Amino acid sequence: MQGLNLAVIGNCAIASLVRRDGTHPWFCFPRLDGDPVFCSLVGGETPENGFMDVQVREMSGTAQSYVPNTAILETVITDKSGARIKLVDFAPRFERYGRTFRPPLLVRRIVPLQGRPRVRVRIRPRFNYGTISGAVSIGSNHVRFVGPSSTLRVTSDMPTSYILDETEFVLDRPLTLFVGADEPIPENPDTLAQSFLAETYLYWQRWVRGLSLPFEWQEEVVRSAITLKLCSYEDTGAIVAALTTSIPEAPSTERNWDYRYCWMRDAFFTVGALNRLGATRTMERFIRFVIDVALGDHDVTVAPLYPITSGTPVEERIAEGLPGYGGMGPVRVGNAAVMQVQNDVYGSIILTASQMFWDTRLSGSLDGSLYQHLRSIGVTAAKTALQPDAGPWEYRGRKTAHTYSAVMCWAGIHRLSMIAEKVGETADAAHWRSQANALRAEILRRATTPQGWISGALDSEVADASSLLLPEVGFLQSNDVRMGKTIDLVGERLMHEGFAMRYSEADDFGRPETAFLICTFWYVDALALAGRRSEAREVFTRALACRNHVGLLSEDFDPRTGLLWGNFPQAYSHVGLIHSAARLSRSWEEALWRAS
């Protein structure tokens, strides 16, 4: 198993993962949650199909990196004679005719650098989650792979027979592959690819230039920001939790989930990360998506997650044609968590939407209608705050009254009191304040243990990393003695070899084996807010070292082996990195002016 040594390219319509040797083992088409036409990532140990690569005879080494401040990837492959080639992978994205041009298209440039390397281009798509190879048709400059519901067209300036027969040849000039929608490309491939590359480079440079970066850890934050953007589906504004499905959280476990959906729980934190960076357009689209899907039909029942486009099935099923990552199945399509009761979503929706009432950068005027929608959500939050649910970790086999769920309901109600005041509903504001005060007292009474720390569940003693988030939503002050004891408790029971677990109890699948990276960043933030900055910086530095060779993170990390696990790249982990870097970094003034 090669591990998650993967990079990602994309354009907010599609995305593809690329291994260190230039192989594309995962490409969902024609959008982020589509059928993976390249699916060898979860095709078992020796997948024969579902990938694109360039084989170099007698390959001896590879080096891979992003062009700085872009989503353009370069992979250099060397053979034993010293001959070298460069693969340039990107998805076109730039302004064209007053609109953003982001076709469902991958572009691969194969460029000779030194010597006369012998190469072989292989493109082996699969359809219907690995079960169908598809029919093949040939044009003068393209090959079409026809599946039951989509067609993948490969247009190139290399002979089509070389693609179909996987012929080995000497690479003595740059070659281009366009892989994507079944649309003709009449232009010269080399000229068009160079034009697309130049425009895409300028787009990403300008986008990064508009970010508000901390003084420290700028490269790490930029890469996380670009990754977060690549996890966004711009057509609707949704941001997926990750670009993959069924990469297990730990070796040989059935904790294999489909993360190509948008979670309401993540919304509040994602908006916060984008806000810190000043990425206003991505933030605004995401807020609009959250409002539309959660409040569009005046329905106060909010699901934990939503598809990136309405009408897409979310029911969970097993993709029988794929054996799983390293053979560790099952491969799941859809996510049964959509049917769960997770009461924290009500507070998440209100906190996310509340940005619209104060942020003057967000377009559109606000009237009382949005408040009325949120008011209905607040009524539901008040009713469900103390009721049992699946909790933030989406337990599948049990329910209990989770502290985090109750606190998020409180946070929503408390924020509603502020919103009501702002829109002139003073009677409502007083009502919400009264409810919030009563609920807070009840949560503290039932969640505070005899030892003085905050439990992850009401009326019991459960160590849970989500308890670290109470200061983030204003439920407790960071210097509250109960928070100090909670931080110490997490450090004692949940920190293993320098990384935080979600919880330590056995769940539906046994005891967790790997650290949850977002929890490690929460621990960093809690330490920083408590004034323990040197400890926070130490943990943060250790977490940064988990990033792979191009700076990306998955969901989980095994400190014993140093391997990343879980779906990839994980938006939540990169959100955590951005939050922690912004909180810990010295200010520009402190670093530059005061130092002089």
Q: If you average pLDDT over residues 163-179, what whole number do you get?
A: 97
Confidence of residue 434 (pLDDT cuts 50, 70, 90): very high
Same domain? For 139 and 267 the reply is: no
Could you tell me the residue range of the domain that residue 149 belongs to?
6-208
Q: If you average pLDDT over residues 262-291, what whole number do you get?
A: 91
Cβ-in-10-Å burial (0-12, 13-18, 19+) of 175 comes to buried
Out of 173, 208, 243, pick the residue that ends a domain: 208
Side chain identity at residue 504, one-letter code: S
- Among 238-247, 295-304, 582-591, top mean pLDDT goes to 238-247
Least confident of 37-51, 53-67, 121-135, 201-215: 37-51
> Which pLDDT score, from 0 to 100, does residue 512 have?
84
Same domain? For 234 and 378 the reply is: yes
At 141, list the tokens.
Answer: 């400059």
**284, part of any domain:** yes
Out of 157, 186, 208, pick the residue that ends a domain: 208
The Cα–Cα gap between 83 and 182 comes to 35
Evaluate if residue 296 carries a pLDDT over 70: no
Query: Which is it for strands 51-56 and 84-90: parallel, antiparallel or unpaired?
Result: unpaired
Same domain? For 137 and 251 the reply is: no
Same domain? For 228 and 170 the reply is: no
**1, part of any domain:** no
Q: What are phi and psi of 18, to 5 degrees?
A: -135, 125
Least confident of 263-277, 365-379, 538-552: 365-379
Same domain? For 266 and 312 the reply is: yes
Helix (H, G, I), strand (E, B) or coil at 36: strand
> Which pLDDT score, from 0 to 100, does residue 2 have?
65
Pick 572 or 361 by higher pLDDT: 572
Same domain? For 530 and 571 the reply is: yes
Q: What are phi and psi of 337, to 5 degrees?
A: -60, -20
Using alpha carbons, select from 233, 222, 240, 243 the residue that is nearest to residue 66.
222
Evaluate if residue 341 carries a pLDDT over 80: yes
**How many structural domains compose the chain?**
2
Same domain? For 31 and 152 the reply is: yes
Same domain? For 252 and 153 the reply is: no
The Cα–Cα gap between 220 and 217 comes to 5
Task: For residue 517, give Cα distances in angstroms to 115, 271, 376, 443, 544.
Answer: 44, 19, 34, 27, 10
**433, part of any domain:** yes
> Which pLDDT score, from 0 to 100, does residue 1 have?
56
**Which pTM was predicted?**
0.96
Same domain? For 231 and 162 the reply is: no
The Cα–Cα gap between 570 and 228 comes to 9
Residue 275 CB neighbour total at 10 angstroms: 16
Confidence of residue 360 (pLDDT cuts 50, 70, 90): confident
Evaluate if residue 595 carries a pLDDT over 70: no
Evaluate if residue 364 carries a pLDDT over 70: no
Cβ-in-10-Å burial (0-12, 13-18, 19+) of 532 comes to middle
Same domain? For 155 and 286 the reply is: no
Residue pair 412/418 in contact (Cβ under 8 Å)? The answer is: no
> Which pLDDT score, from 0 to 100, does residue 300 have?
62
Same domain? For 558 and 530 the reply is: yes
**437, part of any domain:** yes
Q: If you average pLDDT over residues 342-356, what whole number do you get?
A: 94
> Which pLDDT score, from 0 to 100, does residue 596 have?
55
- The per-residue pLDDT of the chain, averaged, comes to 94
Instruction: Compute the C-alpha angle 421/422/428, nearest 5°.
Output: 30
The Cα–Cα gap between 371 and 302 comes to 16
CATH of the domain at 81: 2.70.98.10
Q: If you average pLDDT over residues 110-139, what whole number do you get?
A: 96
Confidence of residue 281 (pLDDT cuts 50, 70, 90): confident
Place of tokens 């998955």: 554
Same domain? For 563 and 430 the reply is: yes
Q: What is the pLDDT of residues 440-477, one digit of tens each?
A: 999 999 999 999 999 999 999 999 999 999 999 999 99
Q: What is the pLDDT of residues 515-571, one digit of tens each?
A: 999 999 999 999 999 999 999 999 999 999 999 999 999 999 999 999 999 999 999
> Which pLDDT score, from 0 to 100, does residue 458 have?
98
> Which pLDDT score, from 0 to 100, does residue 505 have?
81
Share of the chain residues as helix, strand and coil, in percent rounded to the nearest 5:
35, 25, 40
